[in-house]
């Protein structure tokens, strides 16, 4: 053999040995139920980005208690039955410490019995309030639920913008309908009845009837719970084309990267509640910068909560010094004051970790952070 | 009516299949018991639960599409009716599971009837659109009528039933139960094609026009098929709801209907086993894709694209599905057994005619197509026990007349009287029920069925003076086939028979129904001289038994030999009538045939 | 006065959306007439048109899993359209050979399924090449729109309406007044006879698919600035386009246009006056009624089956 070949062989062997020795500890397996394929694959890609960023960061610093994280991604095909199958596969595999995902409330609902049977902590990103009200001890919600988003919207609109004639536009899926109900309730609690409540089915191609209805109702403030970026884009444009300029406070979907690209100037000047805003805290800023540097894309809510989930799991495992499900669960419930990208987490007994939202504004295409509104209950 | 391709395998001897049947039964019993013997993960149980309940819906597709040839893209809606009935019934209204399931099956069935009734006017692409519309409306209602269906939130906490005091809350127990239900349904779907209804369904699939003419109530059969499909879907949906304890609208949408359709076609639409096989594959394939080795892992990103491509390839190369493929490979090994003819009872004709006057009478019959007067005031009488021919140049209205007589067209004006009764507006299958039989110019047999089965369908007409029972029908059919001389080929699929034999099967099919009047549209078409001689002999024998025959043909030699009376049409009007000698030398008739003499006309035939 | 303006607005939106359905239906009808094939992938031609424009105007993001490099392009708009048309033509040819040709003698059901498979294949191939993110596309004209009497007329919708009229006129002219059109008609009515008369049937069919693919692609190019470029664009439109062909009279060109416009207008007004979430249902309920009471559609003729 040539000297150079012998040298490189020796080098390779030593590298292998060293790296093998560095990771001689067996990995901690964490599952991810993700929408890799199917209609929601767009969001799924971002979630994986956030998760991988966290995993690589953690592993670069030696992993959790010296053990690297091994990610087990299961594709749920963006469907409910797929989520059930993905969860049952992961919980049945053995050796998995915790599972992250998904973000869709209806998928989480479908998998709830499976999660309960599986007996592993599930870190979910869905905001339907009922998810943590089904006495499922294993569900931990990493984002503030919609009862809070609606209260923040109501609070901001009534107290900061001081407007009382509300029009609520919402998609008729679980997210939109739940949000609408919660917002109506929050407003009613302040003695206000919305002047218009209008639903639409996802992927509507034309919002003219709704815009005309808004005009007719005389509303002076518009609140929305919309799911798809395309719907946001078309609606926003038609709103402006037909001359509606009232203040608009929307759910987080109007400040996603895609929605803003599609709607362009039509969304300038709008407000939104968002659980993830880069400008809201040093942690958020740092995550946004790292994400951008690595992926050349702007970070968003699909990636932020999953990033938090990973880091939170590390924190909880290390603080409880255990990966056993019951101990990890206790450790998670005990977390209070941990600063994530989404906010400061403090878990209540139902598994809700966050109870407030940021209010942000779209100023000529840039999202500026205005304030954070929190609730105690 | 176009049909999916299929090659039917003739019924084989039971004895040679016995070891396979035992094996299949053994596997069938063993499979649902495996989870009790080995620790099975929830994942696997969920997959099986999916497969079992989807398979029930797919069996519905086998019945309506595979057996009856009707496209149904709303199967997920029927699946949904069952699921929502169980979910809402148990969770919102507190009904016991069995009551809710029965309700679901009932509602689903009614929906099936409604959809089936739409086939009265439509078929093919239109039916596809109607079923798609139905499916889309179901989806929209499920999502938006929140007060009733809980909307997109879905319904959680659906309970499990108890059976004879045993709670089926254990996943394995419920799976076992559902599997047994599936087996029962598979057996039903396997048994169906050989029944009277099953034959009627297949005849509608293979040739709906002919089916109606030989006495099949085509609308009733199609409605029945849709109802069965809906019921099967409803059962599957109800069990699905309880099996997964949570349902939401996106489980019962158009995409799911497409999945059911694909599973049906992949496995093989014409077979209960094929449908089941297809379902298992559709459920498992995406999961298998996820378990690919690292080098092939990129395929998971594109597996849906491959799936789409695979669908095209299946349609091109495997139209009978996997099961068809397996069966063909198997079928090559066995040959069809010839039918023993020794013990066949001679055909009896049972001809009862009420009056000695005309059996068939056309009074000033008119049939116009827009401005075209195909039949323009024809008066005609066919006497009982005679052979009466209708001839004329091309386009003179002969076939149109025959079609009006058999009920395929409604007359624009005038009357058709059969044995004294006005049948002008009667549907074709009812005319068959009165004793009218018919054959077609372009042979219209049920191509995937055997000669025997074809003829049996003919014997299934209403009011057929035949004793009840499968054996009696079968014997009647064999007698008819023996009469026309091809009983030894009774078990062969008619598509494989030579042209001349197919003709005879068509005649036998009509004869099985004890006709008093036989309408023959160019029976000599496509036959050579020898075969025509045989045909003449056959027709004379039929007349000898008292049958009345009304026929169209272009071969003047044949017409001359066999007819008692000839009517000549030209441009929709009668131009001559009388005995063959008179008519065939009549100057007007010769002129109508463009100046050619009778020898010229005969040479042309 | 405002109520009148609103009604006109709703009408305009309805006509505009209806033209989109009509454009896709036009390509649909042509394929049905010549090959008797109901092409479930017709809507995906529109989707492809949009993505091709994105490719030529912006580039593609690349996919490391599949070894596809990222690509940045920035061609002028007019050139992008030309290249899109050419690419769609090629796709039409590929569709003919890959999906139609092997099944040309089969009954309608396998072919229908096959086109469904093609639709799934096309959507997911695009998904693999581009990522799932929906994308904007610039309008053809710089102006957003004009307001006339309180009614906002989106410039892109005006372009679509104009193009639809042109497309209809062109297709009418082609079919009724050119030899090529007569040959295409002959092929659609009796393939065997056409063949016997020396008409190159296969070529006619290829032309049909190319024309339909290009038409569908252009429909996509025109509608994407409003509805955005996304994988699911085709499916949303295709079903309604199919419904339009039936309402208009299966196989009739004028019928497809009228059918599309009717669906658009019915939807628009029903959403405005009755209920917005059920918007998609109205089209189907209307279709249901048409099929029940006048299955041959508005312009179709009753064809009796020959015995």
DSSP-derived secondary structure for chain C: -HHHHHHHHHHHHHHHHHHHHHHHHHHHHHHHHHH----TTHHHHHHHHHHHHHHHHTEE--BGGGTBPPEE----HHHHHHHHHHHHHHHHHHHIIIIIGGGTTS-HHHHHHHHHHHHHHHHHHHHHHS-S--B----SSSS-EEEETTEEEEHHHHHHHHHHHHHHHHHHHHHHHSHHHHHHHHHHH-HHHHHHTT--HHHHHHHHHHHHHHHHHHHHHHHHHHH-B-TTHHHHHHHHHHHHHHHH-TT-HHHHHHHHHHHHHHHHHHHHHT-STTHHHHHHHHHHHHHHH-TTTTT----PPP-
Q: What secondary structure does DSSP assign to A249-285, as a single string?
A: EE-GGGGSHHHHHHHGGGGTT-EEEES--GGG-HHHH
Region A226-249 average pLDDT: 92
Q: What is the pLDDT of residues B507-546, one digit of tens each?
A: 999 999 889 999 999 998 888 888 899 999 999 999 888 8
Question: Is the alpha carbon torsion for B288, B291, B296, B297 positive or negative?
Answer: positive
Q: Which of A50-54, B192-196, B585-589 has the weakest average pLDDT?
A: B585-589
C138 at interface of A, judged by CB pairs closer than 8 A: no
CB-closest option in C154, C236, C272 to A203: C236
A/C interface, count of CB pairs below 8 Å:
79
Which residues 6+ apart lie within 8 Å of B183 measured at CB?
B28
- pLDDT of amino acid B298: 65
A205 at interface of C, judged by CB pairs closer than 8 A: yes
Asked whether the predicted pLDDT for residue C284 surpasses 90, the reply is no
Chain B segment 272-301 residues within 8 A of A by beta carbon are: 286-287, 290, 300-301
**A279 — pLDDT class (breaks 50, 70, 90):** confident
Residue ranges covered by each domain of chain A: 27-144+280-346, 147-274+359-374
* CATH numbers and ranges of domains, chain C: 2-293 (1.10.3470)
Which residues 6+ apart lie within 8 Å of A17 measured at CB?
none
Put simply, the answer to whether A212 touches C17 (Cβ < 8 Å) is: no
Q: Which of A127-131, A140-144, C294-298 has the weakest average pLDDT?
A: C294-298
Distance from CA of A37 to the nearest CA of B (A): 7
Put simply, the answer to whether B300 touches A173 (Cβ < 8 Å) is: no
CA–CA separation, C165 and C177 (whole Å): 17
A45 at interface of C, judged by CB pairs closer than 8 A: yes
Residues of B whose CB is below 8 A from C285: 133, 137
Put simply, the answer to whether A88 touches B43 (Cβ < 8 Å) is: yes
Put simply, the answer to whether C9 touches A258 (Cβ < 8 Å) is: no
- pLDDT of amino acid A8: 52
Comparing CA positions, the residue from A43, A173, A28 lying closest to residue A109 is: A173
Q: Which of A47-51, B12-16, B276-280 has the weakest average pLDDT?
A: B12-16
Put simply, the answer to whether C10 touches A45 (Cβ < 8 Å) is: no
Question: Is the alpha carbon torsion for A171, A176, A182, A187 positive or negative?
Answer: negative
Alpha carbon of residue B22 to chain centroid: 31
Closest chain A residue to C264, measured at CA: A206
Asked whether the predicted pLDDT for residue C64 surpasses 80, the reply is no
% of chain A at pLDDT higher than 90: 62
- pLDDT of amino acid B5: 35
- Which residue would you say has higher pLDDT here, C236 or B264? B264
Backbone φ and ψ for C59, nearest 5 degrees, come out as: 120, -165
CA–CA separation, B538 and C86 (whole Å): 65
B47 at interface of A, judged by CB pairs closer than 8 A: yes
- pLDDT of amino acid B17: 64
Region A307-334 average pLDDT: 92
Which residues 6+ apart lie within 8 Å of B580 measured at CB?
B559, B560, B563, B566
- Please answer whether residues A141 and A353 qualify as being in contact, where contact means their C-beta atoms are separated by less than 8 angstroms: yes
**A9 — pLDDT class (breaks 50, 70, 90):** low
- pLDDT of amino acid B357: 83
Asked whether the predicted pLDDT for residue B465 surpasses 60, the reply is yes
Distance from CA of B49 to the nearest CA of C (A): 26
Which residues 6+ apart lie within 8 Å of B589 measured at CB?
B568, B575, B576, B583
Put simply, the answer to whether A92 touches B43 (Cβ < 8 Å) is: yes
pTM of the full structure: 0.82
Q: Which residues pair with B360 in a beta bridge?
A: B382, B418
Put simply, the answer to whether C116 touches B311 (Cβ < 8 Å) is: yes
Put simply, the answer to whether A91 touches B42 (Cβ < 8 Å) is: yes
Question: Is the alpha carbon torsion for A36, A42, A44, A45 positive or negative?
Answer: positive
Residue from C124, C132, C240 to probe the interface with A (highest A Cβ count within 10 Å):
C132
Coil, strand or helix at B157: coil
Put simply, the answer to whether A45 touches C132 (Cβ < 8 Å) is: yes
Coil, strand or helix at A240: helix
Distance from CA of A177 to the nearest CA of C (A): 12
- Please answer whether residues A359 and A270 qualify as being in contact, where contact means their C-beta atoms are separated by less than 8 angstroms: no
C64 at interface of A, judged by CB pairs closer than 8 A: no
Q: What is the pLDDT of residues B337-390, one digit of tens each?
A: 777 777 777 777 777 766 678 889 999 999 988 778 889 889 999 999 899 999
Residue from C28, C36, C96, C117 to probe the interface with B (highest B Cβ count within 10 Å):
C117
Q: What is the pLDDT of residues B417-448, one digit of tens each?
A: 998 889 999 999 999 999 999 999 888 999 88
Asked whether the predicted pLDDT for residue B571 surpasses 60, the reply is yes
**B170 — pLDDT class (breaks 50, 70, 90):** confident
Q: Which residues pair with A31 in a beta bridge?
A: A72, A99
B285 at interface of C, judged by CB pairs closer than 8 A: no
Q: What is the pLDDT of residues C182-226, one digit of tens each?
A: 888 888 777 788 888 888 888 999 999 999 999 999 999 999 999
Chain C segment 231-290 residues within 8 A of A by beta carbon are: 232, 236, 268, 271-272, 276-280
Put simply, the answer to whether A241 touches C144 (Cβ < 8 Å) is: yes
- pLDDT of amino acid A144: 92
Asked whether the predicted pLDDT for residue B8 surpasses 70, the reply is no
CA–CA separation, A193 and B584 (whole Å): 93
Put simply, the answer to whether B302 touches C125 (Cβ < 8 Å) is: yes
DSSP A132: G
CATH code that applies to domain A27-144+280-346: 3.40.50.2300
**A24 — pLDDT class (breaks 50, 70, 90):** low
**A19 — pLDDT class (breaks 50, 70, 90):** very low
- pLDDT of amino acid C304: 43
Put simply, the answer to whether B309 touches C121 (Cβ < 8 Å) is: yes
Average model confidence (pLDDT) across chain A: 88
Put simply, the answer to whether C10 touches A212 (Cβ < 8 Å) is: yes
CB-closest option in C13, C134, C144 to A229: C134
* CATH numbers and ranges of domains, chain B: 48-331 (1.10.3470), 353-435+519-527+550-605 (3.40.50.300), 441-515 (no CATH)
- pLDDT of amino acid A229: 87
Asked whether the predicted pLDDT for residue B491 surpasses 70, the reply is yes
Alpha helices (H) along B435-549: 451-458, 470-483, 499-511, 529-544
- Please answer whether residues C37 and C31 qualify as being in contact, where contact means their C-beta atoms are separated by less than 8 angstroms: yes
Q: What is the pLDDT of residues C22-48, one digit of tens each?
A: 999 988 888 887 887 888 899 999 999
Average model confidence (pLDDT) across chain C: 85
**B294 — pLDDT class (breaks 50, 70, 90):** low
- Which residue would you say has higher pLDDT here, A345 or B119? A345
Residues of A whose CB is below 8 A from C278: 201
B51 at interface of A, judged by CB pairs closer than 8 A: no
Put simply, the answer to whether B121 touches C295 (Cβ < 8 Å) is: yes
Residue environment code for B199-214, b if the CB has 16+ CB neighbours within 10 A, otherwise e: bbbbbbbbbbbbbbbb
- pLDDT of amino acid B11: 44
Which chains neighbour B (Cβ–Cβ under 8 Å, 3 or more pairs)? A, C
CB-closest option in A92, A128, A177 to B42: A92
**B12 — pLDDT class (breaks 50, 70, 90):** very low
- pLDDT of amino acid C238: 85
B152 at interface of A, judged by CB pairs closer than 8 A: yes
Put simply, the answer to whether A201 touches B248 (Cβ < 8 Å) is: no
Which chains neighbour A (Cβ–Cβ under 8 Å, 3 or more pairs)? B, C
- pLDDT of amino acid B4: 38
Architecture of domain A147-274+359-374: 3-Layer(aba) Sandwich (3.40)
Query: Which ipTM did the prediction report?
Result: 0.86
A202 at interface of C, judged by CB pairs closer than 8 A: no
Comparing CA positions, the residue from B430, B412, B392 lying closest to residue B551 is: B392
A80 at interface of B, judged by CB pairs closer than 8 A: yes
Q: What is the pLDDT of residues A183-196, one digit of tens each?
A: 999 999 999 999 99
Put simply, the answer to whether A80 touches B246 (Cβ < 8 Å) is: yes
C7 at interface of A, judged by CB pairs closer than 8 A: no
Asked whether the predicted pLDDT for residue B259 surpasses 80, the reply is yes
B408 at interface of C, judged by CB pairs closer than 8 A: yes
Q: Are the folds of A27-144+280-346 and A147-274+359-374 the same?
A: yes
Comparing CA positions, the residue from B410, B444, B436 lying closest to residue B522 is: B444
Asked whether the predicted pLDDT for residue C171 surpasses 90, the reply is no
Query: CA-CA distances (angstroms) from residue A208 to B175, C223, C271?
Result: 49, 17, 9
- pLDDT of amino acid B58: 96
- Which residue would you say has higher pLDDT here, B572 or A248? A248
% of chain C at pLDDT higher than 70: 95
C133 at interface of A, judged by CB pairs closer than 8 A: yes
Distance from CA of B494 to the nearest CA of A (A): 45
Region C64-73 average pLDDT: 76
């Amino acid at each position: 053999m040539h000297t150079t070949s012998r040298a490189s062989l020796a080098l390779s062997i030593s590298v292998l040995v060293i790296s093998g020795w560095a990771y001689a500890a067996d990995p901690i397996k964490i599952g991810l139920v993700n929408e890799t394929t199917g209609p929601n694959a767009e969001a799924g890609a971002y979630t994986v980005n956030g998760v991988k960023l966290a995993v690589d960061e953690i592993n670069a610093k030696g992993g959790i208690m010296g053990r690297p994280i091994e990610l087990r991604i299961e594709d749920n095909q963006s469907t409910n039955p797929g989520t059930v199958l993905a969860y049952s596969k992961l919980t049945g595999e053995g050796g998995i410490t915790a599972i992250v995902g998904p973000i869709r409330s209806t998928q989480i609902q479908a998998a709830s019995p499976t999660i309960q049977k599986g007996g592993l902590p599930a870190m979910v990103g869905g905001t339907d309030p009922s998810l943590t009200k089904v006495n499922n001890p294993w569900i931990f919600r990493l984002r503030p639920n919609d009862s809070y988003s609606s209260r923040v919207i109501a609070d901001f609109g009534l107290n900061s913008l001081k407007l009382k004639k509300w029009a609520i536009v919402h998609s008729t899926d679980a997210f939109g309908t739940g949000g609408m109900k919660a917002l109506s309730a929050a407003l009613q609690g302040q003695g206000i009845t919305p002047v218009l409540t209008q639903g639409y089915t996802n992927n509507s191609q034309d919002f003219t009837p709704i815009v005309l209805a808004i005009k007719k109702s005389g509303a002076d403030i518009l609140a929305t719970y919309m799911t798809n970026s395309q719907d946001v884009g078309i609606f926003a444009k038609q709103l402006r084309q037909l001359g509606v300029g009232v203040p608009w406070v929307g759910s987080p979907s109007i400040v996603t990267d895609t929605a803003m690209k599609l709607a362009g100037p039509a969304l300038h000047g709008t407000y939104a509640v968002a659980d993830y805003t880069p400008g809201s805290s040093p942690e958020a800023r740092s995550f946004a910068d790292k994400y951008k540097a690595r992926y050349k894309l702007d970070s968003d809510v699909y990636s932020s909560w999953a990033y938090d989930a990973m880091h939170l799991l590390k924190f909880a495992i290390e603080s409880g010094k255990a990966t056993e499900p019951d101990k990890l669960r206790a450790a998670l419930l005990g977390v209070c004051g941990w600063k994530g990208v989404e906010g400061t987490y403090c878990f209540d007994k139902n598994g809700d970790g966050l109870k407030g939202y940021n209010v942000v504004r779209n100023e000529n295409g840039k999202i500026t952070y205005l304030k954070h509104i929190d609730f105690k209950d | 009516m176009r049909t999916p391709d299929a090659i039917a395998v003739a019924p084989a001897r039971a004895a040679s299949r016995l070891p396979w049947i035992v094996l299949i039964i053994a596997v069938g019993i063993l499979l649902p018991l495996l989870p009790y013997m080995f620790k099975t993960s929830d994942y696997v149980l969920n997959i099986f639960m999916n497969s079992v309940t989807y398979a029930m819906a797919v069996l519905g597709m086998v019945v309506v599409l595979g057996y009856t040839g009707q496209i149904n893209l709303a199967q997920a809606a029927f699946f949904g009716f069952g699921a929502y009935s169980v979910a809402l019934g148990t969770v919102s209204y507190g009904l016991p599971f069995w009551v809710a399931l029965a309700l679901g099956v009932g509602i689903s069935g009614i929906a099936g009837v409604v959809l089936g009734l739409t086939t009265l006017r439509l078929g093919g692409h239109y039916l596809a659109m109607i079923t798609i519309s139905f499916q889309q409306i179901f989806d929209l209602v499920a999502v938006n009528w929140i007060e009733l269906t809980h909307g997109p939130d879905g319904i959680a906490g659906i309970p499990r039933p108890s059976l004879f005091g045993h709670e089926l809350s254990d996943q394995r127990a419920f799976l076992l139960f559902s599997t047994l239900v599936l087996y029962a349904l598979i057996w039903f779907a396997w048994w169906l094609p050989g029944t009277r209804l099953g034959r009627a369904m297949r005849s509608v699939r293979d040739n709906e026009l002919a089916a109606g003419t030989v006495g099949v109530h085509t609308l009733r059969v199609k409605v029945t098929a849709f109802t069965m499909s809906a019921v099967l879907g409803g059962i599957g949906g109800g069990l699905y709801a309880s099996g997964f304890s949570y349902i939401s609208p996106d489980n019962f949408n158009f995409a799911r209907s497409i999945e059911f359709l694909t599973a049906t076609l992949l496995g093989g639409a014409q077979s209960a086993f094929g449908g089941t096989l297809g379902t298992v594959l559709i459920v498992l394939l995406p999961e298998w894709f996820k378990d690919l080795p690292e080098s092939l892992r990129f395929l998971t990103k594109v597996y849906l694209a491959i799936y789409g491509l695979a669908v095209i390839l299946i349609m091109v190369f495997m139209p009978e599905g996997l099961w068809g493929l397996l069966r063909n490979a198997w079928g090559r090994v066995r040959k069809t057994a010839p039918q023993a003819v020794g013990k066949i009872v001679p055909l009896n004709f049972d001809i009862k005619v009420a009056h000695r006057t005309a059996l068939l009478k056309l009074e000033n019959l008119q049939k116009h197509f827009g401005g075209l007067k195909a039949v323009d005031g024809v008066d005609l009488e066919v006497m009982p026990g005679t052979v009466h021919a209708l001839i004329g140049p091309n386009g003179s209205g002969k076939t149109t007349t025959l079609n009006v007589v058999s009920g395929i067209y409604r007359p624009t004006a005038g009357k058709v009287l059969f044995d004294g009764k006005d049948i002008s507006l009667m549907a074709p299958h009812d005319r068959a029920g009165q004793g009218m039989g018919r054959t077609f110019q372009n042979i219209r047999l049920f191509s995937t069925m055997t000669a025997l089965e074809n003829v049996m369908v003919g014997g299934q007409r209403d009011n057929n003076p035949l004793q009840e029972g499968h054996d009696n029908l079968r014997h009647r059919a064999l007698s008819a086939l023996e009469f026309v001389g091809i009983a030894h080929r009774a078990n062969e699929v008619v598509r494989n028979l030579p042209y001349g034999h197919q003709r005879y099967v068509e005649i036998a099919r009509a004869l099985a129904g004890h006709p008093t009047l036989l309408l023959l549209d160019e029976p000599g078409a496509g036959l050579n001289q020898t075969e025509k001689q045989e045909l003449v002999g056959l027709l004379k024998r039929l007349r000898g038994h008292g049958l009345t025959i009304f026929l169209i043909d272009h071969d003047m030699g044949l017409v001359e030999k066999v007819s008692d009376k000839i009517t000549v049409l030209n441009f929709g009007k009668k131009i001559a009538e009388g005995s063959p000698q008179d008519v065939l030398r009549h100057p007007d008739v010769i002129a109508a045939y463009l100046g050619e003499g009778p020898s010229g006309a005969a040479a042309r035939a | 006065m405002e109520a009148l303006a609103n009604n006109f607005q709703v009408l305009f939106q309805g006509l505009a959306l209806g033209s989109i359905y009509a454009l896709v239906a036009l390509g649909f009808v042509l394929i049905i007439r010549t090959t008797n094939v109901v092409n479930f992938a017709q809507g995906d031609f529109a989707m492809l048109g949009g993505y091709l424009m994105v490719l030529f105007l912006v580039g593609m993001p690349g996919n490391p899993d599949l070894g596809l490099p990222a690509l940045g392009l920035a061609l002028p708009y007019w050139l992008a359209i030309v290249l899109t048309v050419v690419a769609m033509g090629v796709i039409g040819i590929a569709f003919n050979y890959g999906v139609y040709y092997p099944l040309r003698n089969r009954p309608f059901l396998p072919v229908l399924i096959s086109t469904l498979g093609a639709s799934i294949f096309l959507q997911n191939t695009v998904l693999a090449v581009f990522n799932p993110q929906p994308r904007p596309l610039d309008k053809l004209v710089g102006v957003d729109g004009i307001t006339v009497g309180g009614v906002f007329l989106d410039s892109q919708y005006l372009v679509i309406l104009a193009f639809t009229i042109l497309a209809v006129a062109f297709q009418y002219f082609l079919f009724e007044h050119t030899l090529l059109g007569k040959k295409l008609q002959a092929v659609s009515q009796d393939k065997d006879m056409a063949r016997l008369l020396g008409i190159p049937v296969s070529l006619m069919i290829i032309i049909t698919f190319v024309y339909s693919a290009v038409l569908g692609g252009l429909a996509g190019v025109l509608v994407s600035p409003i509805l955005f470029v996304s994988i699911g664009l085709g499916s949303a439109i295709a079903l309604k386009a199919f419904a339009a062909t039936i309402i208009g009279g299966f196989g009739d060109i004028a019928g497809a246009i009228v059918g599309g416009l009717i669906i658009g207008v019915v939807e628009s007004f029903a959403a405005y006056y009755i209920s917005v979430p059920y918007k998609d249902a109205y089209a189907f309920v209307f279709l249901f009624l048409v099929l029940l009471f006048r299955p041959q559609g508005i312009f179709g003729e009753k064809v009796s089956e020959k015995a």
